[in-house]
Amino acid sequence: MHVGEETSTIPRPRGHELAATGVTVAYDGVDVVHEASLTLRPGEVTVLVGPNGSGKSTLLRTVARLQRPRAAELVIDRATDGLALSPREFSRHVALLTQGRPTPGGLTVRDVVEFGRYPYRGRWGKADPGGREAVDRALALTGVAEFADRGVEHLSGGQLQRVWLAGCLAQETGVLLLDEPTTYLDLRYQVELLDLMRDLADDHGIAVGAVLHDLDQAAAVGDRVVLLRAGRVVADGLPEDVLTAERLTDTYGIRIDVDPDPLTGRLRTRAIGRHHTRSERLSPSS
């Protein structure tokens, strides 16, 4: 089964709007994110891009309440103070797939995915109505159902990444945050995961926020793109408005050309290195 199959079995939308404003984060007394704002809306995919060290993952982790901000406001559905909710209550609204999770030993794939149901269980592991169905859906959606009884220590990096994603989907939140979710995935599963992100937004009203390094993927999957540099939001808007050659060249410090793909019409970016420039100079057509 491919990632993204049978998405119609996910419960109908419980999407939430998550708005973060004035987010400032400091490490060792030095601000690394400066008064950033980020709004994730139901039915939209918002992609954060920027050079290494630009603060995109820190901003995402702060919005998910895994990183304590020096200052921030976090509002759910324009009414609920997200910082005032208990961790369990917040986890019913927002799920985050982080980078570099450790490989747990002695657990099956199903065991790991069931961790995503913790916000719905009472004290002492009381019954979780609907939990089994939610876990089965998440296993199927991410293409790991066939590994359900396998020990996770025997999985490849890409397989394990999909298992962690399944745990997030089993959490059944209205906001899904993904920090570099295509890491360790081969090309097929990168494409299918991006398709799944779109399915969750388009068909089920989920607000999806993701950090991606690949600018072409960001342009293809994102309704909106947020570009960061040195901890500040440089631009926030439609992909074609944010991902311009001039802005990307200035932000990344290397020449980046942008043009529409002749087949799809989507934006296509190309970083121009020294050897490429040399080839252009030596080309007979030049």
In tens digits, the chain (286 residues) has pLDDT values of 355 454 444 444 468 999 999 999 999 999 999 999 999 999 999 999 999 999 999 999 999 999 999 999 999 999 999 999 999 999 999 999 998 777 788 999 999 999 999 998 866 656 788 899 999 999 998 889 999 999 999 998 888 888 999 999 999 999 999 999 998 788 988 998 999 999 999 988 999 999 999 999 999 999 999 999 999 999 999 999 999 999 999 999 999 999 998 888 889 999 998 876 555 554 555 4
For residue 230, the tally of other CB atoms under 10 A from its CB is 14
Query: How are beta strands 175-179 and 207-211 bridged, if at all?
Result: parallel
Please state the separation of Cα 179 from the chain's center in Å.
5
Cβ atoms within 10 Å of 129's Cβ, excluding its own: 8
Q: How far apart are CA 60 and CA 63, in angstroms?
A: 5
How many Cβ atoms from other residues are within 10 Å of residue 108's Cβ? Answer: 15
Query: Residues with Cβ < 8 Å from 93, sequence gap 6 or more?
Result: 16, 18, 76, 82, 85, 173, 174, 175
The answer for residues whose C-beta is within 8 angstroms of residue 135's C-beta and 6 or more apart is: 110, 113, 114, 116, 117, 166, 170
Of 200, 201, 228, the C-alpha closest to 212 is 228
CA dist., res. 201 & res. 253, Å (int): 33
List, in sequence order, the alpha helices (H) in 64-186.
87-90, 109-114, 131-141, 157-170
One-letter identity of residue 124: W
Residue 83: CB atoms within 10 Å: 14
Rounded CA-CA distance 239/224 in Å is 6
* Nearest-angstrom CA–CA distance, 210 and 190: 13
Stated pTM of the model: 0.88
| 94 vs 204: CA distance, rounded Å | 15
The whole-number pLDDT of residue 179 equals 96
8 A C-beta contact, residue 55 and residue 136: no
Domains and CATH numbers, the chain: 7-239 (3.40.50.300)
The two three-digit tokens of residue 223, written as one number: 């309704």
* Backbone dihedral angles phi then psi of residue 110, each to the nearest 5 degrees: -60, -40
Best CA proximity match to 76, nearest among 67, 68, 64: 64
CA 149 to chain centre: 27
**Cα three-residue angle 96-101-105, rounded to 5 degrees:** 125
Q: Which residues of 258-277 are buried (b: 16+ CB within 10 A; e: fewer)?
A: beeeeeeeebbbeeeeeeee
Rounded Cα–Cα distance for residues 108 and 78 (Å): 39
Q: What is the pLDDT of residue 8?
A: 42
HSE value, Cβ hemisphere, 13 Å, CA-based, for 189: 20
